[in-house]
Amino acid sequence: MTLIGPLLMAGLMIIPGWLMMRDKDMQRIEVVDETELFINQFENTTELQFKHEFRSIEQAKANLYNDVYTSILHIKSVEKNSEVTMYYKKQPGMMTIAKIEKTVESVIRSNEIQRRFKINKEELLEIQPNITVKPISVDADGAEESKNVGASTGIGFFGAILIYFFIFMYGVQIMRGVIEEKTSRIVEIIISSVKPFQLMMGKIVGIALVGLTQFLLWSILTGVIYVVVMSVLGIDPSTVSQANEMMEGVDVPGMSDNVLVSSINEIKSLPLLQIFISFIFYFLGGYLLYGALLAAVGSAVDSEADTQQFMLPITMPLIFSFVVAQTVMENPDGTMAFWLSIIPFTSPVIMMVRIPFGGVETWELLLSMFLLILGFLGTTWVAAKIYRTGILMYGKKVTYKELWKWLFYKG
């Protein structure tokens, strides 16, 4: 997977653009407009072509399979809640339908305004507002810095997802490895040479380094494969603009026409070095914290089926932090966001969500890191106590009461 993973990820980025270049079938739509208000109102694009034919809908439908048109757009009235019918022999896409709906609504709205207030089309266009909210951060010294909410949200959520899945993926590997060694009795030979605590820490640190190495290789190889394949196939990354062209005139809540371009440009203004260093720290810290507990779970049971009763309490904080990540993005400086980014069990995900927004004070970040280190040391102590006793115990169903007793065994 170290080699196959980058190929799959690069393929996810390349194939859509390649398919978009290959699949350029023009949709030709005949407009049968009984109101005569929509003549030349539909804008042609590289994917869509509208043409008005002054004939009845019956004639158009009768000749649909003999004409070059792929669809017939029938506009019968311009009432507020009227329907526009579309007959097709080639299924129109969601973007096509959204664009038609937007155009029809715009024409009806313009005509209604003109009728009520006696304003012509040119005057109406002159008063159409085009407002963009530009967030600017102001610090205590009065220094201003432009922020892009879309870029911050994307980077924060992406980092949180990576940490969430890496902790689960590699933490479970530790647990499975401990169970396998225990059931095969190979651990009885191993601990004759090393102490149980050393064995547990070696497994945790070793898999952590494997995970970090795999992540770095995935990042580097994905970028290299993407650039090479795009160059060989001659795919222009600007093919995304074709999708933007299809989206022109279509309202998407919270998204402006150039949101993708502006987000990419604004990414450079984010504290990328701080985000990268924090990602490495919280990835390792979160993994070590949860990995130690999962190693303890693996040592306390005889099979993976027996882990369910212990897994939920351990993973619940991690799942909870991922669920509330969206709420934290809406208010990254709120009380809930602060405390969840300080508590070690939730800080790996929540702090990665907060950092790209730039509102995290240095003392908050240092306190969060310090407490995460203390949390790791504390969970490692707990895990070592359970691991030392449970690693050589077979054939017995362990309860929480027994786990509590193991914490205070001496020797």
Look at residue 263 and tell me whether its pLDDT is greater than 70: no
User: Binning pLDDT at 50, 70 and 90, where does residue 343 land?
Assistant: very high
**pLDDT of 242:** 46
The highest-level CATH class for domain 26-119 is alpha beta
Nearest Cα to Cα of residue 180 among 354, 346, 299: 299
- The residue type found at 160 is A
Mean of all residue pLDDT scores within the chain: 76
Query: Which one is predicted more confidently, 65 or 393?
Result: 65
Percent of the chain surpassing pLDDT 90:
6
Query: Which one is predicted more confidently, 403 or 374?
Result: 374
Query: Which one is predicted more confidently, 338 or 93?
Result: 338
Tell me the DSSP string of 1-37: -TTHHHHHHHHHHHHHHHHHHH--PPEEEEEEESSS-
88-128 pLDDT, tens digit per residue, is 887 777 778 888 888 888 888 877 777 777 777 677 667 76
User: Strand 27-33 and strand 71-75: pairing?
Assistant: parallel
Query: Which one is predicted more confidently, 139 or 40?
Result: 40
Percent of the chain surpassing pLDDT 70:
76
Residue intervals in the chain for CATH 3.40.190.10:
26-119
User: Binning pLDDT at 50, 70 and 90, where does residue 235 land?
Assistant: low
Nearest Cα to Cα of residue 29 among 101, 86, 105: 86
Over range 344-361, report the average pLDDT: 86
Bridge partners (DSSP) listed for residue 255: 252
Q: Determine which of 242-246, 267-271, 330-334, 345-349 has the lowest per-residue pLDDT on average.
A: 242-246
Look at residue 257 and tell me whether its pLDDT is greater than 50: no
Q: Does the pTM exceed 0.75? A: no
Nearest Cα to Cα of residue 209 among 280, 296, 295, 293: 280
Backbone angles phi, psi at 144, to 5 degrees: -105, 145
**pLDDT of 374:** 93
Look at residue 184 and tell me whether its pLDDT is greater than 90: no
**pLDDT of 372:** 93
362-398 pLDDT, tens digit per residue, is 899 999 999 999 998 888 888 888 877 777 777 667 7
Say how far residue 103 (Cα) sits from the centre of its chain. 31
Q: Residue 78 has what DSSP assignment?
A: -
User: Binning pLDDT at 50, 70 and 90, where does residue 135 land?
Assistant: low
**pLDDT of 51:** 84
DSSP helix/strand/coil, 324: coil
**pLDDT of 24:** 55
Backbone angles phi, psi at 361, to 5 degrees: -70, 155
Please, is 75 exposed, middle or buried when counting C-beta atoms within 10 Å of its C-beta (0-12, 13-18, 19+)? buried
**pLDDT of 254:** 39
- Contact between residue 310 and residue 297 where contact means Cβ atoms under 8 Å apart: yes
User: Binning pLDDT at 50, 70 and 90, where does residue 18 land?
Assistant: low
Q: Which residues contact 219 (CB under 8 A, 6 or more apart)?
A: none
Residue appearing with tokens 């089926």: 305
**pLDDT of 367:** 94
Residue appearing with tokens 């709420």: 327
Nearest Cα to Cα of residue 167 among 321, 397, 270, 54: 321
Query: Which one is predicted more confidently, 305 or 376?
Result: 376
Look at residue 255 and tell me whether its pLDDT is greater than 70: no
**pLDDT of 368:** 93
Between the two ends of the chain, the Cα-to-Cα distance in Å is 42
Bridge partners (DSSP) listed for residue 72: 30, 87
